[in-house]
Chain A
């Protein structure tokens, strides 16, 4: 094997190593640890994880699909605005929406207080700190995945099929259930799977809502029992759950594929809604947007204003800037690193399109589907083991990797490489071999080819990928919590710590910054998705 295949191959293996470490635990189960896990409500964790994931899957499907169909098939007041507003909830981290919901809707919160003031103290309200509450919050955050993919499917795939169906005499509603939905199924399944994978990753929101899931369990055992081994063993279950979801998605998708055809396909022509129907459609969109995005943003802004009116501003001064610097530095570093590695891997697969390289790359980009707690636990175990070796062999006097900046960036890379890789792949597709060869024949040396052909053509795609990683790292909790070095707290950690102690007003400042940053990639994605010049 040549050096050229060896370098990317070992790089890919390095990136997938944390997952392998966790997976290896499956082969060497420790009965002692599992007995302990059994004692600490293992069954309960499995059950609540399954219920929560299934609940979020169903709810995101319902919300995402119906909104996508409304926007794709009908005209009603505000349709164009809602078309992209409805994606914005994706910018709100689940734990932020979680604590805003908690503060707004729990017994001591303003909603129930107001209800009691009007209807007396015995007024009924659903228990917020519950599985149901968690499902609602997570679904409101992640439904845009289904919504986006469903819209793309409805707009680009259903047009031809729907027209045929209408010509065959089906009503619009029948056409939807019998043609549009089945055609869009792969896209819907893919969207719901993304939402469910994100649900598996979440540990903060479920903690606020008293739902002991597997991810939450990994952290409870790691922190509470100081038992890294048990936490890692539990992470294997989480890994299995994620793999199960991916396999299920493949099965449900069947042989169908969801591809996005070019712009030449006829698009679905919406029909106008009138009267109460139009009002209902507008109201439905407005409600979802208001609850999932309007409420948290307004509430956060109110808290920030109130916090800034306090005589002393304990958290925002000085400290706040340090967190912002750290966060931006980390997110920027991770984005840069992920971009470089993605470029390296993607271009090497092109040079040497061997089967090994391809499978290694596929493995290396698996991290995005795997819950953060698994990546974090795997990285930690791996680094601790390496440190142990280094100390034993006398190379290092102390911990070199555990809790180091490099270790944290490594964890981010293992988790988020897939994002930049996909972007680089897509943009490298534009750099056809003919382009490179034309440039060479026209007298350009390799350096000039890189600067004048590769760089400008890959740049925009790479930028989008880097921005997505940047924002994901900004929001990231589990990997950061497990791997961050001394004194390195991010805005997300700051938000979470404050929110966990119910310092909601103080948590609002970092939370609002994160939401603000999260809007950027959503806007980016939308500007690429929305066809220009259509009504």
Chain B
């Protein structure tokens, strides 16, 4: 497996003192779909712009397809990097037809070859025959497909997607993102997907890189990331999480839920990560946990529990479980927990 994109200790700051991108190192294997996940303002879009050549790094190097494109004294302009880019709003050229948009990068090819390629790409994105339309005549989803086709046209070494589904409504978003990833995988395109939506990242990517405040916190496969987040912040960002204080002692820890098993041996005060779906609830009038609210979601339900001292946890359980607010329940765990050392405050 060869490497398509390598970032090595790349930093970029807009204002002195704060680094938008801080010593970021990242590798994208050829054909891989990597999601760069983080809250807005974390530097993920800047990272994408650094790769595309729209920004110049302050330090560090970037290589695309084995060629260094940014580094000390070197800044290859965007048009020579061989990357594809899809923006949130598509950024189609409003004065060009769909065919003109997709063929924009193919200006060196012969007319016939270009037309064939445009037709093939439109077919790929499921919009065959719409060459003569103008962007404003298309729906948002169609525009994004055209934007993708346009980005794929010159067969780039990597396609960069900058929140490409954020502007679409929920149903369309789900449908389109499946289609887009399917297309990217079918064409074997190396892809960097920038998103703030953890569900999107986890469901689409081979690998997810989580970024906070300019730094990459964890790079892992989705399942790994969800089950073994590197720190509490990543844990809460990639999914709903209860963090309970506890005292670890080797393989086990004591906490409000009693004695729990740990995934790795620890000692001293810890924070325990409990995913809501890991909790099983058993009605028990003598138990200390009281049900404070219940939200029915169809495929499951979210139950909020509280102790007398105010500690709350959230559990997710099957919709059939008959639990009413005010009832007392006993939550139990069926798998070992991830623990993080309690930070000194």
Chain A interfacial positions (CB closer than 8 Å to B): 430, 432, 434-435, 437-445, 448, 452-453, 456-457
Can you list 10 A-B contacts with CB-CB less than 8 angstroms, sorted by A residue number? A432-B89, A434-B91, A437-B78, A437-B87, A438-B87, A442-B105, A443-B107, A445-B79, A456-B95, A457-B95
Taking the closest CB of chain B, its distance from the CB of A392, in whole angstroms, is: 49
Query: Given A437-B52, A437-B78, do A442 and B150 touch, yes or no (CB 8 Å)?
Result: yes
Which B residues lie within 8 Å of A442 (CB)? Answer: 79, 84-85, 104-105, 150-151, 153-154
Is the CB of B265 closer than 8 A to any CB of chain A? Answer: no
The distance in angstroms between the C-alpha atoms of A304 and B53, with both chains bound, is: 65
The distance from the CB of B305 to the nearest CB of chain A, in whole angstroms, is 46
- The yes or no answer to B323 lying at the interface (CB within 8 A) is no
In the complex formed, the residue of A with least CB distance to B79 is A443
**Does the CB pair B105–A443 fall under 8 Å?**
yes
In the bound complex, how far is the Cα of B52 from the Cα of A439, in angstroms? 12
Report if A430-B94 is in contact (Cβ < 8 Å); known contacts: A440-B78, A441-B52: yes
Residues in chain B near residue A448, CB distance under 8 A:
107
A432–B79 CB distance below 8 A: no
Contacts of B78 in A (CB 8 A): 437, 440-441
A439 to B150: give the CA distance in the assembly, Å: 10
**Which A residues are in CB contact (< 8 Å) with B52?**
437, 441
> How many cross-chain pairs have Cβ atoms below 8 Å apart between A and B?
63
Among residues 37 to 87 in chain B, which have CB atoms less than 8 Å away from a CB atom of chain A? 52-54, 77-81, 83-85, 87
The 7 lowest CB-CB distance pairs between A and B, nearest first, are A434-B91, A442-B105, A440-B78, A441-B85, A438-B91, A434-B87, A443-B79
| Known contacts A440-B78, A440-B79, A442-B105, A435 near B93 by CB under 8 Å | yes
| A445 to B, closest residue via Cβ | B79
Identify 12 new A-B residue pairs, CB closer than 8 A, beyond the known A442-B153, A443-B154, A445-B77: A432-B89, A435-B91, A437-B78, A438-B91, A440-B53, A440-B77, A441-B81, A442-B85, A442-B150, A443-B79, A452-B93, A457-B95
B residues near A (Cβ < 8 Å) are 52-54, 77-81, 83-85, 87, 89, 91, 93-95, 104-105, 107, 147, 150-151, 153-154
Report chain B residues within 8 Å CB of A456: 95
B-side contacts of A457, CB under 8 Å: 94-95
Measured CB to CB, the closest approach of chain A to B241, in angstroms, equals 35
Q: Hey, which chain A residues are within 8 Å of B105, CB to CB? A: 442-444
Shortest CB distance A532–B (Å): 14
Q: Which of chain A's residues have a CB closer than 8 A to the CB of B107?
A: 443, 448
**A444–B100 alpha-carbon span in the complex (Å):** 14
Expressed in whole angstroms, the minimum distance between the Cβ of B206 and any Cβ of chain A is: 23
Whole-angstrom CA separation of A445 from B77 in the bound complex: 9
Query: Which residues in B have their C-beta under 8 angstroms from that of A444?
Result: 79, 104-105
Given A442-B154, A443-B154, A445-B79, also A432-B91 (CB < 8 A): yes
In the complex, what distance in Å separates the CA atom of A457 from the CA atom of B147? 19
Q: How far is the CA of A289 from the CA of B265 in the complex (A)?
A: 91
Residue among A430, A440, A452, A457 with the most chain B CB within 10 A? A440
Q: Return chain A residues, CB-CB under 8 Å to B154.
A: 442-443
Cβ contact of A437, chosen from B84, B85, B94, B150, cutoff 8 A: B85
C-alpha spacing A456/B94, complex, angstroms: 10
- Indicate if the CB atoms of A439 and B93 lie closer than 8 Å: yes
CB distance from B161 to the nearest CB of A (A): 12
Minimum CB distance partner of B156 in chain A: A441
CB proximity of B153 to chain A, nearest CB, Å? 8
Query: Is there contact, CB below 8 Å, between B94 and A440?
Result: no
Beta-carbon contact of A438 and B85 below 8 Å: yes
In the complex, A439 Cα to B79 Cα: how many Å?
A: 8
* A434 CA / B48 CA spacing, docked (Å): 13
Closest to B78 in A: A440
On chain A, the residues within 8 Å of B91 by CB distance are 432, 434-435, 437-438
CB distance from B88 to the nearest CB of A (A): 8
Please determine whether A441 and B95 come into contact, CB atoms closer than 8 angstroms: no
Chain B nearest CB: distance from A292 CB in Å?
38
Q: Please, how many angstroms separate the alpha-carbon atoms of A443 and B87 in the complex?
A: 16
Contact of A439 with B104 in the complex, beta carbons under 8 Å? yes
Q: Which partner residue on chain A sits nearest B154 by CB separation?
A: A443
Question: How distant is the Cα of A443 from the Cα of B157 in the complex, in angstroms?
Answer: 13
Give Cα distance in the complex from A448 to B84, angstroms. Answer: 18
When C-beta atoms are compared, the residue in chain B nearest to A441 turns out to be B85
Cα-based distance from A476 to B104 in the complex (angstroms)? 44
Q: How far is the CA of A455 from the CA of B94 in the complex (A)?
A: 13
Whole-angstrom CA separation of A444 from B101 in the bound complex: 12
Give Cα A430–Cα B81 distance, bound, in whole angstroms. Answer: 26
**From A438, which residue of chain B is reached at the shortest CB distance?**
B91
Q: Could you tell me the distance between the alpha carbons of A442 and B87 in the complex, rounded to whole angstroms?
A: 13
| B44–chain A nearest beta-carbon distance, Å | 16
B48 → chain A, closest Cβ, in Å? 11
A396 and B223 alpha carbons, distance in the complex (Å): 81
Within the assembled complex, what's the spacing in Å between the Cα atoms of A443 and B109?
13
In angstroms, Cα B160 to Cα A24, docked, is 56
Measured between beta carbons, the chain B residues less than 8 angstroms from A432 are 89, 91
Give min CB distance, B312 to chain A, whole Å.
Answer: 43
Partner of B84, one of A430, A441, A452, A453: A441
Per the bound structure, the CA–CA distance linking A453 and B95 in Å amounts to 8
Q: In the complex, what's the smallest C-beta–C-beta distance from A455 to chain B, in angstroms?
A: 10
The answer for the CA separation of A311 and B81 in the assembled complex, in Å, is: 75
Q: Closest CB-CB distance, B151 to chain A, in whole Å? A: 8
State the Cβ distance, A52 to closest chain B Cβ, in Å. 46
CB nearest to B80 among chain A residues: A443
Give chain A nearest CB distance to B10 CB in angstroms.
Answer: 18
Q: How far is the CA of A343 from the CA of B273 in the complex (A)?
A: 58
CB-CB < 8 A to A439: which residues of B? 93, 104
Cα(A456)–Cα(B95), bound, Å: 7
Minimum CB distance partner of A457 in chain B = B95
Nearest CB on A from B20, distance (A) = 17
Taking the closest CB of chain B, its distance from the CB of A452, in whole angstroms, is: 8
- Shortest C-beta distance, A287 to chain B (Å), equals 42
A443 to chain B: which residues have CB within 8 Å?
79-80, 105, 107, 154
Specify the chain B residue showing the minimal Cβ separation from A448.
B107
Bound together, the chains give a CA A452 to CA B94 distance in angstroms of: 11
Contact A453 B93 (CB under 8 A): yes
A445-B108 Cα distance, complex, nearest whole Å: 13
Do the beta carbons of B89 and A434 come within 8 Å of each other? yes
Residues in B neighbouring A452, C-beta threshold 8 A: 93, 104
Are A441 and B93 in touch, CB under 8 angstroms?
no
Instruction: State in angstroms the CA–CA spacing of A123 and B83 once bound together.
Output: 85
Verify A440–B54 contact, CB threshold 8 A: yes
Q: Which residue on chain A has the smallest CB distance to residue B102?
A: A442
A452 to B101, CA, bound (A): 11
Query: Which of A438, A440, A445: most chain B Cβ within 10 A?
Result: A438
A145 to chain B, nearest CB (A): 31
Task: Give the Cβ gap from B117 to chain A, nearest Cβ, in Å.
Answer: 13
Complex Cα spacing A440 to B154, Å:
13
A439 → chain B closest CB, angstroms: 7
Contacts of B87 in A (CB 8 A): 434, 437-438
Across the interface, name the chain A residue whose C-beta is closest to B49.
A437
In the complex, chain A residues whose CB is within 8 Å of the CB of B80: 443
Greatest chain B CB density within 10 A among A441, A444, A448, A456 is at: A441
Contacts of B151 in A (CB 8 A): 441-442
Q: How far is the CA of A437 from the CA of B93 in the complex (A)?
A: 11
Q: Which B residue sits closest to A435, measured CB to CB? A: B91
Q: Which residues of B contact A440 (CB under 8 A)?
A: 53-54, 77-79
Residues of B within 8 A of A453 (CB): 93
CB distance from B93 to the nearest CB of A (A): 6
In whole angstroms, what is the CA distance A443 to B52 when docked?
11
